[in-house]
Amino acid sequence: METTLIILKPDAVQRGLMGRILARFEDKGLQVVGCKLMKIPPDLAERHYEAHKAKPFYPGLVKFMTSAPVLVLALRGNGAITIARNMMGATFGSKAAPGTIRGDFGVSNSFNLIHGSDSPEAATKELSLFFNPGEVLEFGRAIDPWVYDFGGGKPE
Ligand code: IDP
Ligand code: MG
């Protein structure tokens, strides 16, 4: 099972879209194993987007991400990282396909509603940035035997 770090960005929280976006992930079968409403401090936003430090949009991105509260989520499932990225859609709201979160809920390229880890390495790093030890939980769900086929011993 993989765990990915999702952030519902300030625009998603301000526009009252948290529930509708989270419902998509729950409907898909991904498990919420961590959840935190927070205002990101500037140093944390800078570390989270470290890879983009040299990009022209970096200062604006850090300003946006720290401008108002966000909802930080840890989502778990088989292939959760790729599943969540596909559900998010392309980076720019203007280009994201209909049916995706960015494609359905926004038109802006920088205010694009959601962040999701893009690799297992990024997920490990980002989860440790936003969650303290013990804040990402391990628990079974009553629906798990219907979400996954466990006939072969592991979830399919
Ligand atoms: P991703 O969020 O789809 O992984 P990245 O390329 O990692 O996209 O960029 C991180 C974030 O930086 C984007 O989600 C978006 O908010 C912002 N961003 C990326 N490219 C641009 C740009 O060209 N103009 C303005 N903002 C951008
Ligand atoms: Mg990225």
pLDDT tens column, 6-48 = 999 999 999 999 999 999 999 999 999 999 999 999 999 999 9
Q: What is the pLDDT of residue 74?
A: 99
Q: Is residue 145 part of a domain?
A: no
Q: What is the pLDDT of residue 131?
A: 98
Number of domains the chain is built from: 1
- CB of residue 135 inside a 6 A radius of ligand 1: no
> How far apart are alpha carbons 40 and 135 in whole angstroms?
17
Sign of the torsion angle spanned by Cα atoms 114, 119, 125, 128: positive
Give the CATH number, domain containing residue 28. 3.30.70.141
Q: What is the pTM of this model?
A: 0.97
Sign of the torsion angle spanned by Cα atoms 121, 24, 22, 91: positive
Question: Could you tell me the distance, in angstroms and rounded to a whole number, from the CA of residue 38 to the centre of ligand 1?
Answer: 21
Q: What's the mean pLDDT when you consider all of the chain? A: 98
- CB of residue 57 inside a 6 A radius of ligand 1: yes
70-77 sheet: strands from edge to edge: 31-38, 70-77, 2-8, 114-116
Best residue among 40, 108, 112 to mutate for probing ligand 1, ranked by most atoms within 8 Å of CB? 112
- CB of residue 45 inside a 6 A radius of ligand 1: no
Q: What is the pLDDT of residue 96?
A: 98
Which atom of ligand 1 is least distant from the CA of 85?
A: 3
Q: Is residue 28 part of a domain?
A: yes
Quickly list H helices, 39-119.
Answer: 42-48, 58-65, 80-88, 101-105
Q: What is the pLDDT of residue 98?
A: 98
With contact defined as beta carbons under 8 Å apart, do 87 and 24 qualify?
A: yes
Q: Is residue 148 part of a domain?
A: no
Q: Is residue 153 part of a domain?
A: no
Q: Is residue 151 part of a domain?
A: no
Q: What is the pLDDT of residues 63-96, one digit of tens each?
A: 999 999 999 999 999 999 999 999 999 999 999 9
> How far apart are alpha carbons 146 and 36 in whole angstroms?
27
| Protein residue with least CA distance to atom 5, ligand 1 | 91
Domain carrying residue 59: 2-138
User: Number of helices and strands (H, E) in the chain?
Assistant: 8, 4
Q: What is the pLDDT of residue 82?
A: 98
Q: Is residue 144 part of a domain?
A: no
Catalytic residues: 115
Q: Is residue 91 part of a domain?
A: yes
Q: Is residue 98 part of a domain?
A: yes
> How far apart are alpha carbons 76 and 154 in whole angstroms?
15
